Structure 1
Amino acid sequence: MNASVPDSNFAFAREFMLQGFSYPWEVQVLLFSLFTTTYTLTITGNGAIVCALLCDQRLHTPMYMFLGNFSFLEIWYVSSTVPKMLVNFLSENKNISFAGCFLQFYFFFSLGTSECFLLTVMAFDRYLAICHPLHYLNIMTRNCCAKLVIICWVCGFLWFLIPIALISQMPFCGPNIIDHIVCDPGPLFSLMCASAPRTQLLCYTLSSLVIFGNFFFILGSYTLVLIAVLQMPSATGRRKAFSTCGSHLTVVSLFYGSLMVMYVSPKLQHSVRMQKVATLFYAMVTPLFNPIIYSLRNKEIKVALRKVLGSLNII
């Protein structure tokens, strides 16, 4: 808004409207049904993995401890945005309060950042297990695993705290429509009464650091793992190592691929539709695929899941 306009003409936003997907009512109902099913399957799948890992004593190892925490994190991650998204599909009033918007913003980004750090720790765990097997159990003790998990959660919830606090202190002018499915920094910056280039730069710098920093660490870890695996004399050992790492690499590719599309361009040159689709992919699709990927490629998890489901008389 032009600085010459008197303050009396400003309509400071006390709430926002998440526009989401603008489709006819029939399509909205169809999307609601589809996303509700996806959300239910995501919670059920990740919850089943957590239960299976807790119940099976044989899986109380560092690798599965990290996987259990990752699945637990996914449950909260998907729950930070999807319930509000589902409500908006069937509601004419798509408003979200100012506080509610920034709480969603904070938890969505904090949980996503924690996922980035935890995926990096999981890659480091595989590097130690394959490249330094003799020292692995001495390094990856239960105490060390617990500390690494806590660090991932704490760093994730502190990483974007300052930029989100700065953005929340800025004045927002009408119209208060967020043309997105979640409270995201891009649309929020466009609603500010005045530009905030430093805050915007800080936000995208932190996004780039957490995405590329963790991604390159994972890439480096698996490069060393690949070299070590190719030097193994046993074909069985090579297959087992590739199978163990393959699931994690698939999850990393899905998660980081969609993140890089969204949060590494400070100029936000993406179309609104692409922003919504990319956000939907890493907010809903990736958490749905994670339990499927890990369970289908891991015999130990499949056995543990059968035991849990069998004890509940589900199978």
Structure 2
Amino acid sequence: MTAADHTAEAAKRERIIQEMADNLDEELELELDDSRLDDLLDETNTLHPTLDRRLYFKELLRLQGELVRLQDWVQHEKKKVVVLFEGRDSAGKGGVIKRITQRLNPRICRVAALPAPSERERTQWYFQRYVAHLPAGGEIVLFDRSWYNRAGVERVMGFCTEEQYREFFQSVPEFERMLIRSGIILVKYWFSITDDEQQFRFTMRIQDPLKQWKLSPMDVEARSRWEQYTKAKETMLEHTHLPDSPWWIVDAVDKKRARLNCIAHLLGQIPYQDVARVQVVLPPRVRNPDYHRGPIPQEMYVPARY
């Protein structure tokens, strides 16, 4: 093996270690709060992610705190927020969505990830099934892929006709203007990764039994059509990057930076403010001396295996 081969092998190994560190961080995120952050990080400081772990977690927690403030403002002001997440398969859309929703109320902030349309839905007005998921006042909806499926996967895989494709570009500007006129705050993100990075992420998913479900047959097929998807994306941006509903491109090769950058940018797109909260005071515990709790049969308990 040549020196160049050794260097390439070392770089590949380091990249895999970084991916493993990111997977570990995903588990840690669920356990973190400010008071325990440093202790947890000290325990896992042997791995070397691309972004300093302390910086990443501290910023993530800070931004998630801002997202809670945003949520309170949206609920209080009865605002309607729609955020679209588009991009290549494995580009990191789901990871950002997970960090946005992680500490929010699912009754206020929800995710719309629609499956393939049914036979009935294929005969509807194209936007109809998406309209059903739009927010009411006081709600945030994150679309994990959206009506832009027509400009992407449907175009490349031949799931729509040429006429339907052209009609989409005629209709979508007015459709989005209608949403905005109705009071919806609309933000559109495209997550961009390189060909090599997608290849690496697909390979890691194939090798990880906990993530194999993320790799659909359609994702596999997309690998052989990289250039077709690139052309479709360029056409989509050309026709739908509009003054009142622009696209924002997220450089997503580094997943941690992409998460922080996207969340920080989203917060900057919405003029939220602090909402005054009424101090919560618990009422005194009322005890009824005549009430006696009955026994619960032992066989009803979940076995204590741990």
Relative to the length of structure 1, the TM-score reads 0.34
Structure with the greater alpha carbon radius of gyration = 2
Name whichever structure is richer in strand by fraction.
2
More contact order relative to length (CA 8 Å, sep ≥ 6): 1
Relative to the length of structure 2, the TM-score reads 0.34
